[in-house]
Structure 1
Amino acid sequence: MSNLRELLANRTDINVGGGSVSAQYISIRGSGQDRIGMIVDNTSTNTQQWYHQGRFQLDPSMVKSIKIDKGAGSASAGIGITDGVIRAETVSAKDLLKDGRSFGARIGSEYNSNRGINDSLSLYGQANNLDVLLLGSWGDDKNYKAGKGYSDAVNKNSRVVNNTARRQGNYLAKFGYDITDKQRIGLSFRQESFYGAGQDRFEMIFNSRPVNANTTKRTYNLEYDAKDIGFARDVKANVFHILGTDKREDYQQNKLTGYQRSSKTKTTGANLGFTSEFGGEHLFKYGVNLRKEQTGSQNSF
């Protein structure tokens, strides 16, 4: 699997529109991604780097688990959860290490019949209370072939959709340390990059002037987990920073003039959540969520 469309293909309540990887637009029961929450390792942003572009561009090779909440979320679900939420957790070294092993590696390669190839490499290990994971994946998707009945506007005998080729390079580094058997601290860095030639609106099919576009999102996350600390059964806290950049070529008098258009997004946030038991059969969840988001063009940052 190289994208979220393939990862969520069996979910009837999820729809993924658009064609190429960075154009895929997710909705839950008809509610678009501007109205649903998308959370990875308890980090999230509602700011798009470019209009008409998916903002949940997570590489499936990094995913440990993914869960879907349909409809309005509970008060403990986080900020802005009005029509549903997708929650993903990335893998760690402990998830990949076999019992008794202190080091491991995983190499993967995939070719799909609709003109794409994907490779990945993972290195992971554990020494005493410290565990480390380094993961990289790379994809090269050519212009894909559409279904029966489609014909290209220029070449009527071709079903290949122009301006849909995308390349990607995604990276994940995770460090975890077990303070005690019930307390753990973790630090992670995740980057997703997509680049290729296409229209300004990647999910639409045109045969006019395509431009090169490079999109990158970097996420830094520091987290703390604890269990059974007196008044709380579980404690989960994290602080994070997400930086997104989008650079695109521009035309002047029908000639490309370099990457003159750019946009940036910045998101800084923190979450602190507690779960306490009372009455033997009830759980009480409480905490605080903070998030500050900024977006702007090359003229405002």
Structure 2
Amino acid sequence: MKIRSILLLAGASSLALATALAAQETVTVETAAAETATSGITLQPITLVADGQENVEATGGITVTPDDIDILQPADVSELFSRDSGITVSGGAGPSKRIHVFGMEQSNLAVSVDGVPQGVTSWHHTGSNVIDPAFLKSVEVEAGAAAADAGFGAAAGAVRYETVGAKDLLQDGRTSGGRVGLSYGTNGRGVSGSLAGFGLYQGFDWFVMLHGANGDNYENGDGKEMPGTEPATQGALTKLGYEFEGHRVELAYEYSKDDADRVIKMNMDLDHTDEVFPLKVSRNTLSLKYSSIAPTDSWDPEAMLYVSRNEYWRPNYATGERAINGDMDLESTTIGGVMKNTYSLDQGKITAGVDWAYDDYRIDNYGDRAPAVHTLETMQIGAFVQGRFEFENGIDVSTGMRLDHQRFTDWNGEQLSDTGASVNATASYEFAEGYEVFAGASQTWLGYDIGEYGLLHARDETFVTAPGYDPAEATNVKLGLNANQGNWTGNLTFFDTRLKGLAEYDTDVNQLVNADDYRSNGFTLQGNYSWGSGRVGASFTKADVTQNGDDVLPNGGTVVPVGQLATLFVDQELAQYNIKFGGTLEWAGDLDGAYLTEAGFENHSSYTVANIYGEWRPENYDNIAVHLNVDNLFDETYYERSSYVQYSPRDVYPLYAPGRTVTLGVKMDF
């Protein structure tokens, strides 16, 4: 069945690529935004292919635009994705937040920041890295069948974070500038500040931004203080670019750190304890990127080298039996790169290239176990080609293939290696003006999954990789309908994602084994309407998440149950008063059943959370913006859907989200 699927998709990919190369007829496709005459608020048409790139929203994905970020003023990723029902974020302090797309945890997606892969989640009580929204320009979440050039390991899609730079913030006609931001929030939000400077000089452009936040523990809607939840982020982003004779080189460095006292498992309320311990989570990333600023149809290259380091440091928690729940010192280092070129044809574009990555992991083994340190490593190299085409008959196609080789060396020095192929194809047909149907599928080879490698901190020398440990695989199928009628757009997507062979650290057999198959299937519905000076949007997602056919339990694993989720938002601009305002509703349905209670878990209660915002720019001072945000307006007591629920056998309680939080901030460009 697997070979048949690969052959069918590979045949479709080859046929589409060959057809586009053979035919050289000009195709004109409408991709202009539906603009209004009185406002800057616009709706982008939802089409499968636009300017040679997939529109991720056209196939059930999510886009957070610069305007969205400016409106939301997010302090963390929970607020960043608050308008998107397809994404849930676990609660608690900043480093504990992990995103899930249709119930699939971020390790199952190809996550990148400015093209640099971010790696897997180290431990299910923390995120894989600290993403500071203060640095973000935009986010794309490609759900399901990801393109071949999305990167290695795109099992259930891809998440692409893009950070700001000098040319994003420079005002017209200026060669230098700066931005300062300051905010204060109630309910522990505290003080947050950022300072940026940027400019152009001859062929050079430069950008430097610093950001930090400091506050206290927040309280939930019932007034209960949640220990270890204080904001404590610090970060820096620098970029230096140089352009010459049609070429561009950019050197970038990003640093982020969260350093504070946290509870021992910071995405749950374990034993109702108030004990906190020092914890530092940090990331350093250095990248060098080359691109052409004068591309031709046959030569539009891009190349990048990068090195990144992630650290999770929490020493001296306890010794003896309790050490398995506490002490942890994790380090991971990645060195990699990508080289690719894009060829432009009358019908679209073809991107081809190679990528590679070497990952080294180090895990201190506390609790008087031997060996004192576990180390493991992976090495991957791959070649890929992806074509995106628009044909005159109303058919659009995106299809591609990649071939990867991976070597895995475990903590005992055992080495496994294998090679696998991945294929994808998505096609749409516009059957009436503004209406199109689409279908897509992918078969993805993931290599040897290492899973939550932080679990090795509690394993001794007898823990081994199981004989016959196999590479993991993913299968995605999606189909749906897009609509675009000027001032309104809509999308309905049915999805089915299956993950096979993911890692599981099985303490019963003392081995790293292949887990039983996971599956997430359901549908997501999106719609937006603009009336010129404002817009309204809504989304609804239903995802059934299972393992080996049984409903998944909310135990913090690689997938979580999410059930039914919905969002509703509205934005309005009063141009004559220089005011913008709006709000967001987040809703989650009940999640209950005997499968939960019989396993010791409580049912998830439904919740509805309202958030509102306002922005004012003083007359004659359009470089100053004053923001007012009220999150959880009605002081709802709730925990986010992908968080832990009460689990009686182990005294696990949910870590509730913040109650009403009011934040006042100001930004000034100069």
Q: In structure 2, what is the Cα distance between the partners aligned to 1:14 and 1:253?
A: 38
Q: In structure 1, what is the Cα distance between the partners aligned to 2:199 and 2:293?
A: 24
Counterpart in the other structure of 1:20: 93
Q: In structure 1, what is the Cα distance between the partners aligned to 2:227 and 2:248?
A: 49
**Which residue identity is paired with 1:93?**
A
Residue 139 of structure 1 contacts residue 168 of structure 1 at CA under 8 Å; is this kept in 2? yes
Structure 1 stretches of 5 or more lacking a match? Answer: 149-157
- Select which of 174, 181, 192 maps to 1:108: 181
Counterpart in the other structure of 1:128: 202
- Select which of 257, 261, 268 maps to 1:197: 261
Q: In structure 2, what is the Cα distance between the partners aligned to 1:253 and 1:59?
A: 34
- Select which of 147, 150, 155 maps to 2:221: 147
**Which residue identity is paired with 2:82?**
A
1:79-132 C-alpha deviation (Å, 9 max, x unpaired)? 111112111111111111112212211110122333212110101111111011
Aligned-residue offset at 1:210:
2.1
Residue 175 of structure 1 contacts residue 188 of structure 1 at CA under 8 Å; is this kept in 2? yes
- Select which of 63, 66, 84 maps to 2:139: 66
**Which residue identity is paired with 1:108?**
G
Q: In structure 1, what is the Cα distance between the partners aligned to 2:173 and 2:216?
A: 42
Bigger helix fraction: 2
Aligned-residue offset at 1:264:
0.7
Q: How many residues align structurally? A: 286
Q: In structure 2, what is the Cα distance between the partners aligned to 1:241 and 1:26?
A: 24
Matched, 1:168 2:257: no
SS in 2 for 1:95: helix
Matches within 5 A, 1:138-287: 138-148=212-222, 158-180=223-245, 182-206=246-270, 207=273, 209-227=275-293, 229-230=295-296, 232-252=298-318, 261-278=328-345, 280-287=346-353
Q: In structure 1, what is the Cα distance between the partners aligned to 2:296 and 2:154?
A: 30
Structure 2 stretches of 5 or more lacking a match? Answer: 1-73, 321-325, 365-372, 376-670
- Select which of 31, 34, 47 maps to 2:104: 31
**Which residue identity is paired with 2:170?**
L
Counterpart in the other structure of 1:152: none
1:26-56 C-alpha deviation (Å, 9 max, x unpaired)? 0111111121121111001323354421124
Aligned-residue offset at 1:170:
0.6
Residue 130 of structure 2 contacts residue 281 of structure 2 at CA under 8 Å; is this kept in 1? no
Q: In structure 2, what is the Cα distance between the partners aligned to 1:284 and 1:47?
A: 29
Further displaced range: 223-232 or 163-172: 223-232
Aligned-residue offset at 1:209:
3.5
Residue 4 of structure 1 contacts residue 57 of structure 1 at CA under 8 Å; is this kept in 2? no
**Which residue identity is paired with 1:179?**
F
SS in 1 for 2:313: strand
Counterparts in 2 of 1:145 and 1:233: CA distance versus 1, 3 Å:
farther
Residue 47 of structure 1 contacts residue 295 of structure 1 at CA under 8 Å; is this kept in 2? no
SS in 2 for 1:34: helix
Residue 129 of structure 2 contacts residue 310 of structure 2 at CA under 8 Å; is this kept in 1? no
1:171-216 C-alpha deviation (Å, 9 max, x unpaired)? 0010011123x42110000011001111232111131532100111
Counterparts in 2 of 1:253 and 1:222: CA distance versus 1, 3 Å:
closer
Q: In structure 2, what is the Cα distance between the partners aligned to 1:49 and 1:142?
A: 26
Residue 129 of structure 2 contacts residue 283 of structure 2 at CA under 8 Å; is this kept in 1? no
**Which residue identity is paired with 1:194?**
D
Aligned-residue offset at 1:63:
1.0
Residue 47 of structure 1 contacts residue 265 of structure 1 at CA under 8 Å; is this kept in 2? no
Q: TM-score, normalised by structure 2?
A: 0.41
Aligned-residue offset at 1:261:
4.3
Counterpart in the other structure of 1:155: none
Q: TM-score, normalised by structure 1?
A: 0.88
- Select which of 36, 52, 64 maps to 2:125: 52
Residue 304 of structure 2 contacts residue 339 of structure 2 at CA under 8 Å; is this kept in 1? yes
Counterparts in 2 of 1:209 and 1:250: CA distance versus 1, 3 Å:
farther
Aligned-residue offset at 1:300:
4.8
After the TM superposition, which segments of 4 or more aligned residues of structure 1 sit over 6 Å from their partners?
none
Counterpart in the other structure of 1:151: none
**Which residue identity is paired with 1:167?**
A
Q: In structure 1, what is the Cα distance between the partners aligned to 2:154 and 2:318?
A: 42
Q: In structure 2, what is the Cα distance between the partners aligned to 1:173 and 1:132?
A: 8
Q: In structure 1, what is the Cα distance between the partners aligned to 2:327 and 2:267?
A: 22
Counterparts in 2 of 1:282 and 1:103: CA distance versus 1, 3 Å:
closer
Residue 38 of structure 1 contacts residue 44 of structure 1 at CA under 8 Å; is this kept in 2? yes
Further displaced range: 226-235 or 198-207: 226-235
Counterparts in 2 of 1:282 and 1:163: CA distance versus 1, 3 Å:
closer
**Which residue identity is paired with 1:196?**
A
Aligned-residue offset at 1:231:
5.8
Q: In structure 2, what is the Cα distance between the partners aligned to 1:262 and 1:128?
A: 46
Q: In structure 1, what is the Cα distance between the partners aligned to 2:183 and 2:361?
A: 36
Further displaced range: 213-222 or 291-300: 291-300
Q: In structure 2, what is the Cα distance between the partners aligned to 1:163 and 1:214?
A: 12
Further displaced range: 164-173 or 130-139: 164-173
Aligned identity (percent) is: 24
Residue 129 of structure 1 contacts residue 178 of structure 1 at CA under 8 Å; is this kept in 2? yes
**Which residue identity is paired with 2:344?**
E
Residue 165 of structure 2 contacts residue 207 of structure 2 at CA under 8 Å; is this kept in 1? yes
Further displaced range: 112-121 or 80-89: 112-121
Aligned-residue offset at 1:227:
4.8
